[in-house]
Structure 1
Amino acid sequence: MRWDSVRTVALDDVDLAYRTAGSGEELIVLLHGWPQTGLCWRKLVGPLAERYTVVVPDLRGYGASGLADTGYDKRATAADLSALVRHLGHDSAVVVGHDRGARVAHRWALDRPSEVGALALLDVLPTRVVMNSFDRTSAAAMWHWFFHLQPELPELLLAGNVEPYLRYFLRRVLASGAVDEETFRHYVAEYTDPAHLQATLEDYRAGFTTDLELDEADHARGLRLRCPLLLLWGAEGGLAQDDVLAVWREHHADPAAVSGHAVPGGHYVPEEAPDQVLDALAGFLGGRPNR
């Protein structure tokens, strides 16, 4: 199914780019991670659009979206999406997030619970859990978090080297065909602009500062998710040995509302296991989209 062309809405402090598909009464918002854009959902949009109005934004500072003077913490990014949903004439949405987009989705559901009717998070643990559990093994596996944290150095070293850097991260899915070369070239093009590259690095830096502070404060005062929560993670990815459901149940007001399972492949769940994601969403939300 063909997506609509890219549209842009001017919000208070950023121009947000998004695509839509379908015309269902219910809205579903798909939030991408790093090093991708909204195009990572290309295999799911058509089937989902048979039932929903599907909205696929590029997060602030990513892809075709603009740069923001107010920073790239998850609260600010979630506020963008809240404004986008209202711009589209809706009060709430089903939200599906992967990687960085899942962290934004988590913050959105905490800050504005009435706006997130159901939440699906793909291959992610809560920011505070990740930050408080680093050891030699996990820090070695997630070395890029600490590299991206450094001021100015990543921008300096990655200038002119975006293509090999992204190819390193996506080498497995490129080899398997889960990400085709045309899509990869799109990702490279969108991250090559120095200002947009820096914005995506600021997203990581916010994780160590504002995002962590907000998550810790909210957790300490007992704030928990309240909407139905679906969790999916790669059976061959970094969360394969974690008790993902148990961790997220500690971050939910009703542990019985938390469900999920591993899916084939690694970290890049929307691109590696689209059929399994569609099936899981169908069971979670009711109704099975055609493929």
Structure 2
Amino acid sequence: MLRFVLIALGAAGIALPAAAQVPFPAEVRTQEITTNGATIHVRIGGTGPAVVLLHGYGETGDMWAPLAADLVRDHTVVVPDLRGLGLSSKPETGFDKKTQAGDVAGVLDALKIDHADLVTHDIGNMVGYAFAVQHPERVKRFVLIDAPLPGIGPWEEVLKNPLLWHFRFGGPDMERLVAGRERIYLDRFWNEFSATPSRFSEAAREHYAELYALPGAMHSGFAQFAAFDQDAVDNKAFLAANGKLGMPVLAIGGEKSFGPMMATVMRFAASDVTEGIIPDAGHWIMEENPTATSAMVRSFLASQ
């Protein structure tokens, strides 16, 4: 189905995104999985224990190519694009993270994977937490990277940071303001949230800007943020009903971004938290220091 959609877009004169600049290993295939009211574009490869990699805003599952190339040697790697982003479908609703946790469950069910490790970044953290807190028996270990959880710990203080103005960017004209200017809008985040902006390469910027210029993508991105208030309500309810997560958690912050605050946040939501800091990196750690990030994640997933 996705192939025909892409052909139709090309026929309509809509430019399609170039291939990811850092390719996935040849053994990684793609599959479109329809579940929970969306069609999720998923990359799957390797054999061994399953690990699910969830991306955040400003990127797609393509961000995980360097880590997937490492893990695919001895893991089954599952890399979805979140609903509304990348090459997944663009539904009108369902951008609260509780619903998107259902997308993750549906993908794993379709692949006949009962349990997995989770590695998540940015909004992927929020989707991953909603999945882990509802399905703790399916998550063996959980790595969260450099973003807060709505309603958890110092969330209200986080919202006061002026760098996070986009959390509240909304209104009837927001999509019209950025239409055709997606690269300008996204460059702001890639530059301001990097320790060294030049490490977020020009090729990667072009690739993601084209993906976010696809019909419905910016609408979906704004909807991810608009759902934060509901996510906060849901997360508080999850915590009250289920208590803290019990599986081992690695909370990673970029040295020039969340740093140790990532572990501080997660100690409000999990009982077994290990702190990790990626040196010489801001928020975009897979672009800024992929070697250190991959080594830290692999070490944690290998731990007993």
Q: Which TM-score applies when normalising by structure 1?
A: 0.88
Q: 1: CA distance between counterparts of 2:146 and 2:276?
A: 10
**Equivalent position to 1:151, from 171, 177, 181:** 171
Contact kept, 8 Å, 1:233 with 1:261, in 2: the verdict is: yes
**Equivalent position to 1:272, from 288, 296, 300:** 288
Q: 1: CA distance between counterparts of 2:156 and 2:189?
A: 24
Give the residue type in structure 1 aligned to 2:101.
A
Task: In structure 1, list runs of 5 or more residues that go unmatched.
Answer: none
SS at match of 2:129: helix
2:265 pairs with 1:250: no
Q: 2: CA distance between counterparts of 1:135 and 1:55?
A: 31
2:51 pairs with 1:36: no
Q: 1: CA distance between counterparts of 2:263 and 2:220?
A: 31
Contact kept, 8 Å, 2:116 with 2:140, in 1: the verdict is: yes
Contact kept, 8 Å, 1:174 with 1:180, in 2: the verdict is: no
2:260 pairs with 1:260: no
Task: In structure 2, list runs of 5 or more residues that go unmatched.
Answer: 1-24
**Equivalent position to 1:61, from 73, 84, 90:** 84
| Correspondence list, 1:1-291, <5 A | 1-2=25-26, 4-22=28-46, 24-128=47-151, 129-134=153-158, 136=160, 138=161, 140-147=162-169, 150-171=170-191, 176-208=197-229, 210-221=230-241, 223-237=243-257, 239-240=258-259, 243-252=261-270, 254=271, 257-264=272-279, 265-286=281-302
Aligned length: 276
Identity of aligned residues (%): 28
The structural deviation recorded for 1:101 is 0.5
More divergent stretch after superposition (47-56 vs 4-13):
4-13
SS at match of 2:188: helix
Q: 1: CA distance between counterparts of 2:195 and 2:201?
A: 6
Contact kept, 8 Å, 1:13 with 1:69, in 2: the verdict is: no
Instruction: Indicate the RMSD between aligned Cα atoms, in angstroms.
Output: 2.0
Q: 2: CA distance between counterparts of 1:247 and 1:50?
A: 32
Contact kept, 8 Å, 1:235 with 1:263, in 2: the verdict is: yes
CA separation of 1:142 and 1:70: change in aligned 2, threshold 3 A: closer
SS at match of 1:188: helix
Contact kept, 8 Å, 1:74 with 1:103, in 2: the verdict is: yes
Q: 1: CA distance between counterparts of 2:235 and 2:255?
A: 27
CA separation of 1:247 and 1:183: change in aligned 2, threshold 3 A: closer
SS at match of 2:103: helix
The structural deviation recorded for 1:270 is 2.1
Contact kept, 8 Å, 2:71 with 2:298, in 1: the verdict is: no
Give the residue type in structure 2 aligned to 1:201.
F
Q: 2: CA distance between counterparts of 1:202 and 1:228?
A: 31
CA separation of 1:3 and 1:206: change in aligned 2, threshold 3 A: farther
CA separation of 1:145 and 1:10: change in aligned 2, threshold 3 A: same
